[in-house]
Structure 1
Amino acid sequence: MNKQAMLCAVLGTLLGASQAMAAEPRLGVQLWSVKDEIKQDFEGTLTRISRLGFQGVEFAGEFGPYKDNPAALRAFLDKNRLQCAGAHVHFDQLTDARFEATTAFYKTLGCSNLVIPMDARGASVDGSAAMSRELSALSSKLAPKGMRIGYHNHAQEMAGAVGSTPWDVIARSTPKESILQQDVGWTTFAGKDPVAYVYKYPGRTVSTHYKAKFAPGAAVAGSTPIIGQDKTDWAGLTRALRQAGGTEWIIVEQEEYPNGMGQLDTVAASLAGLKAVLATMPAQ
């Protein structure tokens, strides 16, 4: 860890003391990881996800036969001992005209974390500043409903020098209640340190995407984009989440499926790799 990251770690530990003793983060999966399989067999795929040992799912717009019946979907989740870890929604779903319908749907699911998955404005500092005003307004509007807004990064939000990236602008320009959902795969793809960013903005990493992803030409021989079969410091990251992240959910996301593996089989491999890492760490 470089000097700047070390300073962020010290500062984050001090400022994040109130989050340090939070409950152990639960394990969820972003359903985009199984986007094809879930369309073919929604209930069967979620049932298998539960049997793998996941505690929750993060939705990405696919609800199978329940798209107009959130109460029945909630019952199905409860039957399979799954919680709604959050949902990816776009800004257009939270316009004044659609706000009540959208929030009512997710409230019925027991979902309190709504996350914007991507926006073109996140590619620039000025655009991120404008977008942050919209995120801040939504944060205030969602608070009375017991819900939070968040934003999820790709590589574009991590471009530039640390401290002046679009991600830094979003972090500084939105209220502390809003979620900085860091996608670790995209952070490392952009050449940034995901651990340092957790400490830099303590208490904001309410949920985070655990994704193994390689920057072009950066793959190490024998590594694959599966958690535990790559070079990401998952133990260090998990330690940071426990100490300063205020993290409720670690969410596995899979975008690449090596060696012809199926989508859910690859997710299962990443979960196994993550559990192996967690098994080496002392309980909080």
Structure 2
Amino acid sequence: MLKTNRRQFVQTTALAAAALSVAPQVLGAARKKLPIALQLYSVRQDCAKDFDAALERVAKMGFEGVEFAGYHNYGGKAKELRKRLDDLGLKVAATHIGTGSFRGENLQKTIEFHQVLGCKFLIVPGDGDFTNPDKCKALADLFNETAAKLKPLNMYCGYHNHTAEFKKFGETTFWDFFATNTSKDVVLQQDCGWTAAAKLDPVAMMKKYPGRMKSTHFKPTVVGNEPGKKAFIGQDSVDWKAVIAACIEFGGTEWITLEQEAYPDGKSPMEATEISFKALKEMVG
């Protein structure tokens, strides 16, 4: 009996040690819960009408953060905006700004404003040079230079895709060209909805560029004319649970950002946003 118990003990101990040696990252990923922010472009009409009221409603829905697409009555008033966000319990997940914010003296102003807000991700949601064969390399160089200046401040610049970025460029695509010609410190803010709309796999994209999707967009998207599908998270064409797992395992994602651009069933932007948010929150756990 003693020999059998000893053998079982040794086997069990060996298996446990092996599991601990290979599984910490997997176990950590399984336990990780990503915070959810709202890209305020989703409710842009509400923001234009009464920005403070819109922020308050977003906070009451349960969002942990917001991603800006303009600052409305808080333009140039970073301290006031930060206080408003703090009062509502909202953090700044990221901001969408133009490439011009990185050029010349504008960069220092951009840094100072967003440092006050506690915003570390400065994302460009579109630039015509990205898909211009004669200018795309210079644009990539600008992002590299900006990323190097931001890194000591624990800040990042990045680019947000739509579908045009996946157009062919020689033997590659403009998206892949930008990714391979920029450093790992340049964020690739994948909009998974647009990726799916381009008939590409968001999960495969994360695997291809691991650690570079620190901020990731979840846009409910119906690909084609799939019967019964609606542009709400959980009712659309995208396997969001698989995307969430990929964000944790491959993407290096720090923020999931919901962007609701369609409003099915006659729902208002706020109503549609809340439907998708509730479904997404349940998936995230």
Query: What TM-score range do you get, normalising by the shorter chain?
Result: 0.7 to 0.9
1:114 aligns with 2:130: no
1:258 and 2:264 matched: yes
Match of 1:231 in 2: 237
Which residue pairs with 2:68 in the alignment? 59
Task: Give the AA of the match of 1:219.
Answer: N
Aligned pairs for 1:154-233 (under 5 A) are 154-160=162-168, 164-215=172-223, 218-233=224-239
Q: How many residues align?
A: 260
* Cα distance in 1, alignment partners of residues 265 and 86 from structure 2: 34
Q: Which moved more, 1:75-84 or 1:255-264?
A: 255-264
* 1:45 alignment counterpart: 54
Asked if 1 retains the 8 angstrom alpha-carbon contact of 2:222 and 2:229, the reply is no
RMSD in angstroms over aligned alpha carbons?
Answer: 2.2
State the percentage of identical aligned residues.
36
What corresponds to 2:36 in structure 1?
27
What is the TM-score normalised by the length of structure 2?
A: 0.85
Q: Which has the larger radius of gyration?
A: 2
Distance in 2 (alpha carbons) for counterparts of 1:68 and 1:243: 38
Letter in 1 for 2:257: I
1:149 and 2:157 correspond: yes
Whether 1:36 and 2:45 are equivalent positions in the alignment is yes
Please give the TM-score of this superposition, normalised by the length of structure 1.
0.86
1:270 aligns with 2:279: no
Question: 1: CA distance between counterparts of 2:133 and 2:215?
Answer: 23
State the shift of 1:37 in Å. 0.6
Structure with greater contact order relative to length (CA < 8 Å, sep ≥ 6):
1
Residue aligned with 1:244, SS: helix
Matched residue type, 1:272: K
Q: CA deviation at 1:159?
A: 2.3
Query: After superposition, what is the alpha-carbon deviation per residue over 1:47-77, rounded to whole angstroms, capped at 9, x for unaligned?
Result: 111111110000111x233222111110111
Residue in 2 that maps onto 1:244: 250
CA distance in 2, matches of 1:31, 1:255: 10
**Distance in 2 separating the partners of 1:255 and 1:104:** 30
Partner SS state of residue 275, structure 1: helix
Equivalent in 81, 105, 110 of residue 113 of structure 2:
105
